[in-house]
Amino acid sequence: MLIAGGGILGTFHAMEALERGFSVTQFEASAEPLSATARSPGALAFSRAAPGLELELCVDAAARWRRLAGEAGAPVRELGSLVAATDEREADQLEELCRRSDAVQRGWSLTRRAGHEPRGSLEQDVALGESVVATLHSDLDVVVETRKLLEHLRGRMQRTERYRFVGGVEIRDLGPGSFTDSTGRTHRGDLGLLCPGWRSDLAISMLRQPSVLRSVRIQVLQTGRLRATLHRPVSDVAALVHSGLGRATGMASPPPDPRLGQTTVALTCVQRRSRALTIGETRDHDEPFGFEVSQRPLQVLLERAGKLLGVDLPPVTHQWAGQVRQCTDGRLWLREDLDETMTLVGCADQRGIALAPVIAAETLDWVTEGRDSGATHPGADGAGTG
């Protein structure tokens, strides 16, 4: 098996192929992956999947991530997650979600504070601010240190004699069962998988319908150490509204912020083991994207984080801007056979990290047995279902 792409998707495909008896050579254009995987806050919100197939796959993925968390040294934490409401309208939205028939499957429980109750009655996280009136907790969700995870998984695979990682080499051409790299060398295998992230013009140029894809520009930031403790990732209600569940159920959006224009801000705060906060994310869909970091949406992100946590945030130490690709016709991710031996997999938007182990299993089911769950068919995201 030849695999192009050293991010989370490519790496889980390599693991799945090894488990099914393949020898694997994995290629990455950079010496180390530096794109969407490495920059992700790492909060895997399985509980916010659209009802139906996406939720089914997310529950499966959560179980796989939890098994991985049991490995010594695996940078995966079974923390769950919180969605925090800062007014009664938002609290009512969370309460309505808890009445859903799939609430138990999503691991949800609601804590709501009456107006006269002290803040301590809502104390699920030390760092929550006074403005928080209700929280929706899920014990299904996990947190992963994405860059460290890649190192962990590659180390595990390199202990076998059937895996080789080749960094700093770009795939420039494809043939039946072969990759030709940027040095002119041709590599041959029985099957090839392309998991290229958003950057591969070669892979995208070979698609039959590239028009079903669009790029999304994402910005994330990180602060210094926060003295208060945030026991689990905390999101605002906007993060739910813009999730698979929110889109499928038509959740009411928060009032628009005139400072944002067409930019979407959906807040999630994750405290790292170092106590630094990773805060995401802003999203833009209008190409072409500028090369600069857009400060106004990041300022809105910081204001929302400060309100939810009720503290003065530490200074910002890092800012990242990157891109992901998504399908516009409702596929959960893109899978396309380029010929009888080559298959492209990707364009899963932010769900690509959360669903990576399931996507890899589904890909190997497809290329070895022809089995297909329907996740890569138009309309698989369940948009418009209740």
Half-sphere exposure of 307 (CA within 13 A, CB side): 18
Radius of gyration of the chain measured on its C-alpha atoms: 21
- Summarize the confidence of residues 182-187 as an average pLDDT: 92
In angstroms, rounded to a whole number, what is the distance separating the alpha carbons of residues 61 and 16?
Answer: 13
Distances in whole angstroms, Cα of residue 119 to Cα of each of 129, 256, 303: 8, 28, 21
The reported pLDDT for the residue numbered 374 is 96
pLDDT digits (tens, 9 = 90+) for 65-121: 999 999 888 999 999 999 999 999 999 999 999 999 999 999 999 998 755 444 444
Other beta carbons less than 10 A from residue 313's beta carbon: 16
In angstroms, rounded to a whole number, what is the distance separating the alpha carbons of residues 360 and 345?
Answer: 9
Amino acid at 296: R
Better-predicted residue by pLDDT, 113 or 4? 4
Query: Is a pLDDT exceeding 50 seen at residue 385?
Result: no
DSSP 230-267: --S-EEEHHHHHTSHHHHHHTPPPPPP-TTTTT-EEEE
For β-strands 186-188 and 213-225, DSSP reports them as unpaired
Question: In the chain, what percentage of residues exceed pLDDT 90?
Answer: 62
Residue 68 sits at the vertex; the CA angle it makes with 66 and 70, to the nearest 5 degrees, is 80
Q: Under a CB-based contact definition with an 8 Å cutoff, are residues 347 and 212 in contact?
A: no
Beta bridge pairs of residue 225? 276
Q: Tell me which of 147-151, 200-204, 317-321, 344-348 is least confident.
A: 200-204
Distances in whole angstroms, Cα of residue 87 to Cα of each of 75, 115, 316: 35, 11, 27
The domain made up of 79-142+213-327 is a member of CATH 3.40.190.170: no
- Domain 2-74+145-210+331-369 and domain 79-142+213-327 have a common topology: no
In angstroms, rounded to a whole number, what is the distance separating the alpha carbons of residues 251 and 243?
Answer: 10
Secondary structure of the chain: what % helix, strand, coil (to 5)? 30, 25, 45
pLDDT digits (tens, 9 = 90+) for 229-268: 888 999 999 999 999 999 888 888 878 888 888 889 999 9
- Summarize the confidence of residues 33-37 as an average pLDDT: 54
Residue 279 sits at the vertex; the CA angle it makes with 276 and 285, to the nearest 5 degrees, is 155
Question: CATH homologous superfamily of domain 2-74+145-210+331-369?
Answer: FAD/NAD(P)-binding domain (3.50.50.60)
Amino acid at 202: L
Query: Is a pLDDT exceeding 80 seen at residue 199?
Result: no
Query: Is a pLDDT exceeding 90 seen at residue 381?
Result: no
DSSP 255: P
The reported pLDDT for the residue numbered 201 is 64
The reported pLDDT for the residue numbered 347 is 87
The reported pLDDT for the residue numbered 120 is 44
Tokens standing for residue 350: 């932010």
Q: What is the mean pLDDT of the chain?
A: 88
- Summarize the confidence of residues 32-46 as an average pLDDT: 71
User: At a CB cut-off of 8 Å and minimum separation 6, what does 97 contact?
Assistant: 103, 108, 136, 240, 245
The sheet with strand 342-346 has its strands ordered as 163-167, 24-28, 2-4, 192-194, 342-346, 334-337
The reported pLDDT for the residue numbered 140 is 96
Other beta carbons less than 10 A from residue 247's beta carbon: 16
The reported pLDDT for the residue numbered 335 is 94
In angstroms, rounded to a whole number, what is the distance separating the alpha carbons of residues 153 and 12?
Answer: 8
The reported pLDDT for the residue numbered 14 is 98
The reported pLDDT for the residue numbered 137 is 95
Burial of 155 (0-12, 13-18, 19+ CB in 10 A): exposed
Residue 39: band (very low, low, confident or very high) from pLDDT cuts 50, 70, 90:
low
Tokens standing for residue 142: 């996990």
Q: Does pTM top 0.85 for this prediction?
A: yes
- Summarize the confidence of residues 272-282 as an average pLDDT: 92
Q: Tell me which of 12-16, 97-101, 233-237, 285-289 is least confident.
A: 285-289
User: At a CB cut-off of 8 Å and minimum separation 6, what does 125 contact?
Assistant: 82, 135, 229, 230, 231, 232, 234
Other beta carbons less than 10 A from residue 206's beta carbon: 16
The reported pLDDT for the residue numbered 295 is 86
Q: Where are the domains of the chain?
A: 2-74+145-210+331-369, 79-142+213-327
First to last CA, the chain: 41
3-state secondary structure of 346: strand
Q: Under a CB-based contact definition with an 8 Å cutoff, are residues 269 and 278 in contact?
A: yes
Query: Is a pLDDT exceeding 70 seen at residue 341?
Result: yes
